[in-house]
């Protein structure tokens, strides 16, 4: 993929400088990471500054390295060459001026490269002195090399900025240059950075002042609050040397000295809430003093129109002459074009997205916008194919429509990526993305990345299963070992019939062949009597209860899995000439009998919708053996009966657990769902009620269920499966969906699109992660109890920063502070915030611990 245009408008050529003088630096770095050859190799395989970036040596022709004026410096800006913490390289990001040149350089050097030199002190000094007019001279930063860069600011094309969130610990900035080079992201470890710690104190002070100001009725406008994290500080600095404009297309993208055409492309919003009527459209944005800091942008996005796009687009198109007072022309146009996407069938969406993104001007930015959207620019043939995969119907709300697209396209991308990994072999950054869901979590909790132990490529086959038993038909493995293997590898289809009765406790794991024979006989008798209880009881059959239950069971069985070969045919014998029901057959009838036997086995049971879905796979695996299927089903119902309680308390309990899990594991998604009014997780209701059966193909259902039944990772593993599905779609959900109905529609339509293997692997990783989080949280609590010094509680301190974020959101602040008047003094406020923070340490609710059992 290409980067920015070949050159900035005002730069003719860039020198390539020999990288000899960078040898020392790279050498040092190499030794640092030498103990991890894999990681080092992985990094070299990636983008390195030495090979790919243009370097620059200031004034041409002068061999003597001059002293450079250090204008800005920030420490603890890290390169993460691999996913291992130990490989992270701390460095200084800086802005320097060579001589009197107005060509300012942006540079990053590893701390190690200047450690022990006077330069090091200068960097630290400049970092700590704010807005100092004092001149500090340093050795000019080395040219770009494998692990350092220095480039003129004017060669910057864009910055991709990811602020830190509670779920992504380190904010990052990725620089792209004209010519297409993209540097690896730099991560701001602000907790370690002197200037940010300093800033924090200033922020606390400003916060106090702001509070006081409010109480006095002032507007607080005069108070300048320092930036909240390093990336924002850097952005603020860069704004002094270049015009920086935030893209409307991709809010995390900031264009540096954008050309007119770039401005136009990036001011065309795809979504109405990003369509902040922008001065950039008229080229009016000023270089400096731009009020649009990161957080302000964030705010305007959030305060944007939250009504469903569906409603708005309808409005816009229907009455184009009547533009409401709150709607300027620009917004109107966006809405109007959106309504075309919404309403028009397939081609309109293609055209709309393509016309924006296939424009030659859009090319350079494609790499900077999210893959799903970028893919809109692909060839029309490709689009049609993707569209078919997505099953995009004739009509969907615009967001759901786009979200579905995004998903399919992302999945395509993932497939392509996997194919690539296979080609390039291990050592790439494959493992980072393989468990995408983990990405966010790992940075939140600073825990090691677990790996899935699943090896589904080698399911247990019949010969192997047979080999686990001795001559008497007694299992030689322990029950735990057998379950573990089943969890990790799954079962080949033809062995399921033998294994499922064990998994579902029809046969004890330690039984032998004779015992099982006897059991089987016993159970056959029991089943026959259960069946006779309703089938031979004419009195019962006259009751309302029977009429109702048998009606329910019948209509549901006749609607269950009728595409499966066993249930697909219809059989004359079972069909009255004119029945309101779809035709039936012997197997359908047989499942009805099992369900009725289950219902009438006790006085208090009744049939509840969803049960027929639970029975059908068991029945199929038991190959129509009613006795086996009945007892296996009964065990399954024991596991699941909470879901079917009359008062729905079981389902509510499950959804509550899932909600708590989500809050612990991905607070960003949690908050987004909250904003969408979807925190009831109603969209997961069907998933849980019948254990994902409606979401998966028949075979996938079998694969998942046998894994769930091992209880290898607790009896609530299905909630991690649910979380894994949500996580796999979190980006799409957060980015595209805004309303309860949109979220519901999107999730419902995930049905039959899921990759169950990936989901199970993710679920395992999430489970282990969660366990680590619980442990971390316990340690944290113990540590907090042991120490009253807030400076010592790592997580607490972290929270302190997080806690202050709402401040930028103006009206939203203070959402959690105690009533006014309490934190008058700066001191007092600081203390309160700390106390709040302690409460908000990612603690794991006691109730959630059940997830580990």
Partner 1 sequence: MSSSRRKVLLKVIILGDSGVGKTSLMNQYVNKRFSNQYKATIGADFLTKEVMVDDRLVTMQLWDTAGQERFQSLGVAFYRGADCCVLVYDVNSAKSFETLDSWRDEFLIQASPRDPENFPFVVIGNKIDMEEGKRMVSQKRAMTWCQSKGNIPYFETSAKEAINVEQGFQAACKNALQQEGEADIYSDYPDAIKINSHDADQGYGCAC
The smaller minimum CB distance to ligand GTP, of residues 418 and 559, is found at 559
Pick one of ligand GTP, partner 1, none as the site partner of residue 740 (Cβ within 5 to 8 A by kind).
partner 1
Pick the closer one to partner 1 by CB: 111 or 303: 303
C-alpha span between 776 and 789 (Å, rounded): 19
Closer residue to ligand GTP, CB minimum distance, 489 or 562 = 562
| Residues with Cβ within 8 Å of residue 513, at least 6 apart in sequence | 472, 473, 474
560 binds, among partner 1, ligand GTP, none (CB under 5 to 8 A by kind): partner 1
For partner 1, which stretch binds (CB under 8 A), given 133-141, 198-206, 555-563, 773-781? 555-563
Who contacts 201 (Cβ-Cβ below 8 Å, separation ≥6)? none
What's the closest the beta carbon of residue 609 comes to ligand GTP, in angstroms? 6
- Indicate the residue among 274 and 554 with the shorter CB distance to ligand GTP: 554
Alpha-carbon span 53 to 179, nearest angstrom: 9
Query: For residues 617-646, which are near partner 1 according to CB under 8 A?
Result: 645-646
Which ranges of 159-242 does DSSP label H, i.e. alpha helix? 194-215, 230-238
Query: Rounded to the nearest whole angstrom, what is the least distance from the CB of residue 582 to ligand GTP in the complex?
Result: 4
The residue among 376, 291, 294 whose CA lies nearest residue 341 is 376
* Separation between Cα atoms, residue 828 and residue 815, nearest integer Å: 18
CB atoms within 10 A of CB 833: 21
214 binds ligand GTP (CB under 6 A): no
Q: How far is the CB of 740 from partner 1 (least distance, A)?
A: 6
35 is written with which tokens? 């103990």
Q: Does residue 543 bind partner 1 (CB under 8 A)?
A: no
| Residues ≥6 apart with Cβ < 8 Å to 359 | 265
Beta-sheet pairing, 89-98 with 156-162 = unpaired
Nearest approach, Cβ of 558 to ligand GTP (angstroms)? Answer: 6
Q: Give the one entry of partner 1, ligand GTP, none that residue 358 binds, where binding means its C-beta sits below a cut-off of 5 to 8 angstroms depending on kind.
A: none
In this complex, which beta carbon is closest to ligand GTP, that of residue 608 or of residue 802?
608
> Contact with partner 1 (CB under 8 A): which of 94, 158, 312, 701?
312
Residue 562 lies near partner 1 (rule: CB under 8 A):
yes
In the bound complex, what is the minimum distance in angstroms from residue 581's beta carbon to ligand GTP? 5
Distance of CA 502 to the CA centre of its chain: 37
Peptide bond into 814 cis (omega under 30): yes
Q: Taken in order 218, 223, 229, 235, is the CA torsion positive or negative?
A: positive
Q: State which residue, 495 or 726, has the beta carbon closest to partner 1.
A: 726
Residue 319 binding partner per list partner 1, ligand GTP, none, with a CB distance cut-off of 5 to 8 Å that depends on partner kind: partner 1
Select the span of 4-12, 51-59, 313-321, 752-760 touching partner 1 (CB under 8 A): 313-321
Contact assessment for residue 523 and residue 623, using Cβ atoms and an 8 Å cutoff:
no
CB count within 10 Å of CB 402 equals 27
Q: Mark the segment that binds partner 1 (CB under 8 A) among 474-482, 545-553, 662-670, 833-841.
A: 545-553
Q: Do 301 and 320 touch, CB atoms closer than 8 A?
A: no
Partnered with residue 98 across adjacent β-strands are 68
Site string for ligand GTP, 603-632 (x = CB under 6 A): ------x-----------------------
CB of 543 vs partner 1, minimal distance in Å: 13
Are 597 and 530 contacting, i.e. CB atoms less than 8 angstroms apart?
Answer: yes
* DSSP state string for 790-837: GGG-HHHHHHHHHHHGGGGGGGG-SSSSPSTTS--SHHHHHHHHHHHH
The CB-of-616 to partner 1 minimum distance in angstroms stands at 11
Q: Of 220 and 304, which has the nearer Cβ to partner 1? A: 304
Binding mask 787-806 for partner 1 (x = CB under 8 A): --------------------
Nearer to ligand GTP, 366 or 611 (CB): 611
Q: Rule CB under 8 A: which of 446-505 touch partner 1?
A: none
Nearest approach, Cβ of 791 to ligand GTP (angstroms)? Answer: 59
CA atoms 233, 236, 238, 240: torsion sign: negative
Beta strands in 6-98 (DSSP E): 68-79, 89-98
Q: Which two tokens stand for residue 166?
A: 């509670």
Residue 398 and residue 341 in contact, taking contact as beta carbons nearer than 8 Å: yes
DSSP 103: -
DSSP assignment, residue 76? E
Residue 335 or 838 having the CB closest to partner 1: 335
Q: Distance (Å, rounded) from C-alpha 171 to C-alpha 162? A: 5
Strand pairing report for 68-79 and 137-138: antiparallel
Is 815 a residue that touches partner 1 (CB under 8 A)?
no
CB of residue 429 to ligand GTP, shortest distance in Å: 46
Q: Residues 737 to 756: which contact partner 1 by CB under 8 A?
A: 739-741, 744-745, 748
Minimum CB separation of residue 329 from partner 1 in Å reads: 13
Q: Which of 60, 216, 318, 572 binds partner 1 (CB under 8 A)?
A: 318
Minimal CB distance to ligand GTP: which residue? 582
- Binding of partner 1 by 698 (CB under 8 A): no
> Rounded CA gap, 847 and 63, in Å?
68
Which listed residue (310, 357, 618, 728) binds partner 1 by CB under 8 A? Answer: 310
Interface with ligand GTP in residues 521-580 (CB under 6 A): 555, 558-559, 580
Residue 754 or 801: which CB sits closer to partner 1? 754
Name which of ligand GTP, partner 1, none residue 821 binds, using a CB cut-off of 5 to 8 Å depending on partner kind.
none
Q: Is 99 left (phi over 0), alpha (psi -120 to 50) or beta?
A: left
Least gap, CB of 311 to partner 1 (angstroms): 5
Sign, CA dihedral 269-274-277-278, equals: negative
Q: Using CB under 6 A, which of 581, 641, 671, 797 touches ligand GTP?
A: 581
Question: Of these partners, ligand GTP, partner 1, none, which one is at the site of residue 325 (CB under 5 to 8 Å by kind)?
Answer: partner 1
User: Quick check: 104 and 119 in contact, CB under 8 A?
Assistant: no
**Token output for 412:** 């395509």
Q: Considering the rule CB under 8 A, would residue 679 count as an interface residue with partner 1?
A: no
Q: Which residue among 327, 362, 661, 754 contacts partner 1 (CB under 8 A)?
A: 327
Compare residues 407 and 745 and give the one whose CB is closer to ligand GTP: 745
State the binding partner of 182 from ligand GTP, partner 1, none, CB within 5 to 8 A by kind: none
Report phi then psi at 775, rounded to 5.
-65, -45
Choices 383-391, 497-505, 578-586, 664-672 (CB under 8 A): range interacting with partner 1: 578-586
- Determine the Cα–Cα distance for residues 187 and 93; give it in Å rounded to an integer: 11
Number of residues that bind partner 1 (CB under 8 A): 60
User: What is the CA angle 591-593-598, rounded to 5?
Assistant: 95
Q: Helices (H), strands (E): how many in the chain?
A: 37, 10
N-terminal to C-terminal alpha carbon distance within the chain:
47
DSSP annotation of 735 reads: H
Secondary structure (3-state) at 612: helix
Phi, psi dihedrals of residue 96, rounded to the nearest 5°? -130, 160
Task: Pick the binder of ligand GTP from 380, 582, 810, 828 (CB under 6 A).
Answer: 582
Q: Which residues of this chain interact with ligand GTP, rule CB under 6 A?
A: 555, 558-559, 580-582, 609
Q: Which residues of this chain interact with partner 1, rule CB under 8 A?
A: 303-308, 310-312, 314-315, 318-319, 322, 324-327, 343, 395-397, 547-548, 551-552, 555-556, 559-560, 562-563, 578, 580, 582-583, 608-610, 612-613, 645-648, 677, 680, 682-683, 685-686, 689-690, 694, 739-741, 744-745, 748
């Amino acid at each position: 993929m290409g980067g920015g245009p070949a050159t900035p408008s005002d730069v003719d050529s860039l020198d390539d400088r020999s990288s000899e003088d960078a040898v020392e630096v790279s050498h040092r770095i190499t030794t640092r990471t030498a103990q991890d050859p894999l990681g080092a190799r992985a990094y070299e395989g990636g983008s390195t500054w030495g090979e790919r970036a243009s370097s620059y040596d200031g004034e041409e022709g002068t061999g003597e390295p001059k002293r450079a004026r250090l204008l800005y410096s920030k420490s603890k800006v890290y390169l993460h060459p691999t996913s291992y913490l130990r490989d992270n390289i701390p460095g200084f990001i800086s802005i320097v001026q060579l001589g009197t040149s107005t060509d300012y350089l942006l540079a990053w050097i590893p701390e190690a490269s200047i450690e022990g030199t006077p330069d090091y002190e200068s960097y630290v000094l400049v970092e700590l002195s704010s807005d100092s007019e004092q001149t500090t001279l340093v050795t000019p930063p080395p040219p770009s090399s494998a692990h350092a860069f220095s480039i003129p600011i004017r060669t910057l094309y864009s910055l991709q900025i990811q602020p830190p969130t509670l779920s992504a610990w380190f904010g990052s900035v990725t620089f792209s240059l004209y010519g297409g080079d993209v540097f690896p992201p730099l991560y701001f470890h602000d907790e370690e950075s002197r200037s940010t710690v300093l800033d924090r104190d200033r922020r606390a002070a400003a916060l106090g002042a702001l509070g006081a100001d409010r109480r006095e009725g002032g507007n607080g406008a005069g108070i300048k609050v320092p930036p909240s994290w390093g990336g924002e500080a850097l952005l603020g600095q860069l704004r002094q040397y270049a015009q920086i404009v935030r893209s409307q297309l991709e809010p995390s993208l900031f264009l540096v000295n954008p050309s007119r055409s770039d401005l136009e492309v990036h001011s065309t919003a795809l979504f109405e809430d990003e369509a902040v009527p922008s001065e950039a459209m008229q080229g009016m944005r000023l270089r400096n003093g731009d009020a649009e800091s990161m957080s302000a942008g964030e705010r305007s996005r959030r305060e944007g129109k939250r009504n469903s796009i569906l409603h708005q687009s309808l409005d816009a198109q229907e009455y184009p002459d009547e533009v409401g007072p709150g709607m300027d022309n620009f917004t109107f146009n966006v809405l109007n074009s959106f309504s075309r996407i919404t309403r028009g069938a397939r081609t309109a969406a293609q055209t709309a997205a393509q016309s924006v993104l296939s424009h030659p001007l859009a090319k350079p930015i494609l790499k900077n916008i999210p893959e799903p959207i970028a893919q809109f620019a692909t060839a029309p043939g490709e689009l049609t194919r993707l569209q078919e995969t997505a099953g995009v119907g004739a009509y969907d709300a615009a967001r759901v429509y786009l979200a579905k697209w995004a998903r399919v396209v992302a999945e395509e991308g993932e497939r392509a990526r996997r194919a690539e990994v296979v080609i390039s072999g291990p050592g790439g950054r494959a493992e980072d993305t393989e468990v995408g869901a983990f990405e966010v979590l790992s940075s939140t909790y600073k825990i090691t990345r677990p790996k899935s132990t699943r090896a589904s490529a080698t399911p247990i086959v019949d010969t192997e299963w047979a080999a686990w038993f001795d001559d008497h038909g007694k299992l030689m493995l322990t029950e735990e070992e057998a379950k573990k293997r089943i969890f990790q590898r799954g079962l080949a289809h033809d062995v399921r019939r033998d294994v499922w009765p064990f998994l579902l406790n029809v046969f004890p794991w330690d039984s032998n062949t004779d015992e099982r024979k006897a059991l089987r006989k016993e159970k056959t008798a029991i089943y026959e009597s259960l069946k006779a209880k309703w089938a031979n009881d004419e009195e019962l059959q006259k009751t309302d209860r029977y009429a109702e239950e048998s009606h329910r069971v019948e209509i549901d069985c006749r609607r269950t899995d009728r595409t499966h070969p066993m249930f697909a045919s219809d059989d004359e014998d079972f069909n009255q000439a004119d029945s309101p029901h779809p035709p039936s057959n012997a197997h359908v009838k047989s499942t009805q009998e099992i369900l009725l036997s289950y219902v009438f086995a006790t006085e208090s049971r009744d049939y509840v919708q969803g049960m027929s879905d639970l029975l059908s796979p068991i029945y199929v695996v038991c190959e129509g053996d009613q006795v086996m299927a009945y007892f296996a089903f009964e065990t399954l119902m024991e596991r699941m009966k909470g879901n079917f309680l009359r008062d729905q308390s079981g389902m509510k309990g499950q959804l509550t657990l899932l909600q708590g899990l989500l809050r612990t594991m991905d607070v960003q998604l949690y908050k987004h769902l909250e904003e969408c009014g979807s925190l009831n997780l109603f969209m997961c209701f069907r998933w849980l009620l019948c254990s994902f059966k409606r979401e998966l193909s028949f075979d996938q259902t079998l694969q998942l269920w046998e894994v769930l039944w091992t209880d290898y990772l607790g009896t609530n593993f299905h909630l991690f499966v649910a979380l894994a599905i949500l996580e796999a779609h979190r980006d799409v959900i957060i980015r595209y969906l805004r309303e309860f109905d949109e979220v519901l529609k999107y999730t419902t339509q995930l049905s039959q699109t899921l990759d169950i293997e990936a989901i199970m692997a993710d679920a395992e990783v999430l489970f282990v992660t969660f366990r680590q989080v619980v442990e971390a949280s316990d340690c944290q609590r113990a540590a907090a109890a042991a120490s009253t010094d807030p400076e010592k509680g790592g997580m607490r301190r972290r929270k302190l920063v997080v806690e202050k974020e709402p401040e930028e959101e103006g009206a939203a602040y203070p959402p959690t502070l105690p009533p006014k008047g309490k934190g008058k003094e700066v001191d007092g406020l600081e203390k309160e915030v700390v106390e709040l923070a302690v409460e908000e340490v990612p603690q794991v609710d006691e109730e959630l611990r059940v997830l580990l059992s």
